[in-house]
Amino acid sequence: MTPARPAKDKKATVPPQNWRWYGNHGHFICGWWCRFHLATKVGPWLISTVGQYLPEEASRESIAGARGITLEGRGDARLADFMKKVGYDEIGVGRTFETMVFRAGRPCSSDECGCGLPTTNGHELDFRPYNRAGEATRGHMAMCRKWARRPARKAVQDE
């Protein structure tokens, strides 16, 4: 009698050494103004985390005014006053950080940039909100591990 072979794991695992990290934000229209961003390509998926949204100056003035806050100083001193009195703005209702997962598209090949960050179609496959940088970092890594275990063919069905 021949011993039974162990069943093969049908899940395609993408080991961490095959993940690709990027220094730019991978989603959010105002991502340019986020001071916190992680973007990781895990197999056919792009996991993107953004947060610590600090809007540009005109928007900061509007936010402070709408909240009845008077900002003091000029330049960096005014920015410091905004951070003291207002802080980072929410990027969505009740959250200052978020992680989203997208199907990774073609990599950036722009002559001006050429960073290789994959494009996305803007339709998230998974989402998680946070309010602290540590939570966002741990959440990003958990999402990378989760999607590293997901079979690639499943992602096509989800879109």
| β-sheet with 126-130: strand ranges across | 20-22, 34-42, 45-53, 97-103, 126-130
Residue 106 lies in a domain: yes
Residue 125 lies in a domain: yes
Q: Which domain holds residue 38?
A: 23-54+89-158
Q: Strand ranges (DSSP E) for 26-81?
A: 34-42, 45-53
pLDDT tens, 10-65? 455 899 999 999 988 889 888 889 999 999 999 999 999 999 999 999 999 999 99
Which structure tokens are listed for 92? 């969505």
Residue 72 lies in a domain: no
d(CA 88, CA 54): 5
Residue 93 lies in a domain: yes
Average pLDDT along the chain: 88
Q: What pTM was estimated for this model as a whole?
A: 0.82
Residue 16 has a pLDDT of: 92
pLDDT tens, 99-126? 999 999 998 888 888 888 998 988 999 9
3-state secondary structure (DSSP) of residue 139 = helix
Domain count, the chain: 1
d(CA 87, CA 130): 16
Residue 29 lies in a domain: yes
Residue 2 lies in a domain: no
- Does the pLDDT at position 3 exceed 70? no
Residue 101 lies in a domain: yes
Residue 114 lies in a domain: yes
